[in-house]
Amino acid sequence: MKESWSDLELKPIKREDIETVWKMQVDAFSDLLKKYQDYDTNPAAENIDGILTRFEQPWTSYYFIVSSGIRVGVIRVVHKEDGSRKRISPIWIMPEYRNKGYAQRAIEEVEKIYGNNHWCLETILQEKGNLYLYEKMGYHQTGQIEHINDRMDIVFYEKIEDWA
């Protein structure tokens, strides 16, 4: 549905939006929580205070991913401006809007804002769709894998500077 891409925008999240962000996060990640039962790491198991704590970090920016006036997801960018890699953690698209290109467009938009190199992120190794998306966008596995439980592992990615 490329027609939905043309009007995609990132809208900065304000403190008063945190409860909405939390509810969206719980909804977006609840299926993965049931599937992998990773209660220590899954965003659906997090309380609202965790989101608020990250929101208040000076190096964190949260954005609603908006298309046609609808909040289809959220992306958080960590940019410490200290030479460390910029980080996407987390990004999610609400279940009813998945597989329409929104995550890819959102990543492209944050790369326009923050630059398209020196990024990192991590995702669930067993979620092949996530791996495909990030690799298509120029991210490469670092070789680091963190075993969470018998059902899942976290794989780490980075995007190397463009050599052109």
Position 4 pLDDT exceeds 90? no
Q: What is the pLDDT of residue 144?
A: 98
Residue 134: C-alpha distances to residues 19, 20, 59, 108, 145 (Å) = 28, 26, 23, 11, 16
Mean pLDDT of 19-38: 98
* In the chain, % of residues over pLDDT 90: 91
Global pTM?
Answer: 0.93
pLDDT tens digits, residue range 113-162? 999 889 999 999 999 999 999 999 999 999 999 999 999 999 999 998 65
Residue 15: C-alpha distances to residues 4, 20, 22, 93 (Å) = 28, 10, 12, 20
pLDDT tens digits, residue range 53-62? 999 999 999 9
Higher pLDDT, 72 or 7: 72
Each domain of the chain, given as residue ranges in start order, spans 2-159
The DSSP H or E segment spanning 136 is helix 128-136
Please state, as a whole number, how many other Cβ atoms lie within 10 Å of the Cβ of residue 50: 13
Q: What is the pLDDT of residue 160?
A: 81
Q: What is the pLDDT of residue 162?
A: 57
Q: DSSP characters for 10-48? A: EEEPPGGGHHHHHHHHHHHHHHHHHHH--TTT-GGG--H
| Fold classified for 2-159 | Aminopeptidase (3.40.630)
SS3 64: strand
Q: What is the pLDDT of residue 1?
A: 40
Cα(53)–Cα(76) distance, integer angstroms: 13
Cα(122)–Cα(100) distance, integer angstroms: 21
Q: DSSP characters for 80-135? A: -SSSSPEEEEEEEE-GGGTTSSHHHHHHHHHHHHH-SSSEEEEEETT-HHHHHHHH
Phi (first) and psi of residue 70, to 5 degrees: -105, 135
Share the mean pLDDT of the chain: 94
